[in-house]
Amino acid sequence: MLDYVDLEADLDAEERLIRDTAREFVEEEVKPVIADHYEAGTFPTELIAKMGELGFYGPTLEAQGLPGVSETAYGLLMQELEAGDSGIRSMASVQGALVMYPIAEYGSPAQRERWLPALEDGEAVGCFGLTEPEHGSNPAAMETTAEPARDGDGYVLDGEKTWITNAPIADVAVVWAREQSDGEIRGFLVETDREGVSTLHIEDKLSMRASVSGRIELQNVSVPAENRLPGVSGMKGPLSCLTQARYGIAWGAVGAARDCFETARTYATDREQFGGPIARFQLQQENLAEMATQITTSQLLAHRLAALKQRGDLRPQQVSMAKRNNVRMAREQARVAREMLGGNGITTDYPPMRHLANMETVYTYEGTHDIHSLILGEDLTGIAAFD
Ligand code: TGC
Ligand code: FAD
């Protein structure tokens, strides 16, 4: 596997073990089935519990007996899972960074006790409802409301969330809504079997096909007061979760690109044209040299982020830079790998086209490439250019 500047040498025993466990899982459980799931537009749901058993959900957290592994170990995990498919990494990202993280960070002791062990094991599935049909890049304009219940105990939620990963298979949704009493954004844990909650599949995707996406409709949904996340209010709540997930994506994208590189390198040495392997042509070697260089520099950025995050110095804008750079890199290099495979490259027999199609989603979700440009632009100039 490509590790051109020997980053392996700096890993400790636990980091190697977690990386190797995830790599083996992808080789044995994901690669044999993922192309069929991609074609069928299904997620391999039988892997959800297995991923829980292997400790893939929320492993950097420490609440409720969670193991608190290093940020590098978590990054390597995301890298290996996305080498399998972005849908597999998304499953772990949503469960850990977008559902377990807010419960661990902002939840009550009762909420932690109720949900964290079940989510860790994969016994329960969570989803994160921020995006709405009319408010994607600007979630602060959300229209979903939380009104105090008439009897004074709890809230009534109304609104619609869309493009929510795992919504149709989730047991619990972290729903972000505007509390009517003070206009603040707050998070609510909404069990998906509550009266008034409907989850609907989004079926017609041409990207991220091995992942479940859906809508959540909330019509007059009563939730008790104890389902509100007590520890946060304002956009900082959802945006801080996004920082966790974007960190994982910055690593994951490197894994997808590496899988494309390894496929292209093997193909180029095996495939013969004009009397010998295509790898002997300078044009193909230039492709491989550029791909290896881009992947290596993205890996270095991800490793640096891990060190900053581990010591508590990571700023969200630095995560934006890495998400923006590494996903663009993976999208470009997946296309080059696809091209190097000629006609065979457009099939599901090889992974580059699948990774390339997935990268269209990854480029867009968790803040589009444009939004991360603007976050960096504001950080570099002091002038916000969103409006
Ligand atoms: P702004 O006024 O800038 O900030 C409000 C408060 O939040 C704090 N903050 C952050 N904290 C942690 N991490 C971040 N990334 C943060 N960004 C801001 C900020 O310090 C402030 O705190 P305080 O204490 O002063 O109140 O917020 P804004 O509403 O103006 O934000 C603007 C903008 C455009 C940057 C933001 O809305 C944004 O990032 N938009 C992109 C939307 C997005 O990324 N959506 C993702 C939906 S979830 C998803 O895609 C899941 S995919 C899952 C999968 O399958 O893997
Ligand atoms: P829009 O915000 O409408 O943007 C459209 C275009 O306009 C983009 O190119 C954008 O970059 C550009 N644009 C917008 N504003 C500006 C600006 N100020 N300046 C310049 N250009 C701008 N959301 C969740 O809450 N939970 C999930 O689990 C989740 N999972 C997802 C899974 C998939 C498969 C997909 C595709 C999306 C998912 N999302 C999820 C939603 C995702 O986060 C949004 O799609 C994303 O934030 C962009 O919002 P939008 O699609 O409404 O695009």
- Over residues 12-31, mean pLDDT: 98
- Domain 127-227 superfamily per CATH: Butyryl-CoA Dehydrogenase, subunit A, domain 2 (2.40.110.10)
- Output the pLDDT for position 151: 83
**Is 357 within 8 Å of 34 (Cβ atoms)?**
no
**Is 100 within 8 Å of 245 (Cβ atoms)?**
no
Rounded to whole angstroms, how far apart are CA atoms 195 and 154?
15
Q: Report pLDDT digits (tens) over 357-386.
A: 999 999 999 999 999 999 999 999 999 999
- Over residues 235-260, mean pLDDT: 98
CA–centroid distance, residue 363 to ligand 2 (Å): 9
The CATH 1.10.540.10 domain(s) of the chain lie at 7-125
Q: Report pLDDT digits (tens) over 334-361.
A: 999 999 999 999 999 999 999 999 999 9
Q: What is the DSSP string of 105-132?
A: HH--HHHHHHHHHHHHHTSS-EEEE--B
pLDDT of residue 88 exceeding 90, the answer is yes
Q: Which atom of ligand 2 lies at the shortest distance from residue 94's CA?
A: 28
Rounded to whole angstroms, how far apart are CA atoms 203 and 214?
8
CA–centroid distance, residue 139 to ligand 1 (Å): 8
- Output the pLDDT for position 255: 98
Rounded to whole angstroms, how far apart are CA atoms 157 and 218?
6
As a whole number, the mean pLDDT across the chain is: 98
| Structure tokens, 79 | 């890298």
Quickly name the fold that domain 236-381 has: Butyryl-CoA Dehydrogenase, subunit A; domain 3 (1.20.140)
The CATH 1.20.140.10 domain(s) of the chain lie at 236-381
pLDDT of residue 207 exceeding 80, the answer is yes
**Is 198 within 8 Å of 159 (Cβ atoms)?**
no
The CATH 2.40.110.10 domain(s) of the chain lie at 127-227
pLDDT of residue 153 exceeding 90, the answer is no
- Output the pLDDT for position 63: 95
CA–centroid distance, residue 232 to ligand 1 (Å): 14
Q: What is the DSSP string of 155-222?
A: EEEEEEEEEEETGGG-SEEEEEEEETTT--EEEEEEETTSTTEEEEE----SSSTTS-EEEEEEEEEE
- Over residues 106-110, mean pLDDT: 98
pLDDT of residue 152 exceeding 80, the answer is no
Q: Which CATH number fits domain 7-125: 3.40.640.10, 3.40.630.10, 3.40.50.2300, 1.10.540.10?
A: 1.10.540.10
239, 320, 324: residue to mutate for ligand 1 pocket, most atoms within 8 A of CB: 239
pLDDT of residue 320 exceeding 90, the answer is yes
- Over residues 95-117, mean pLDDT: 98
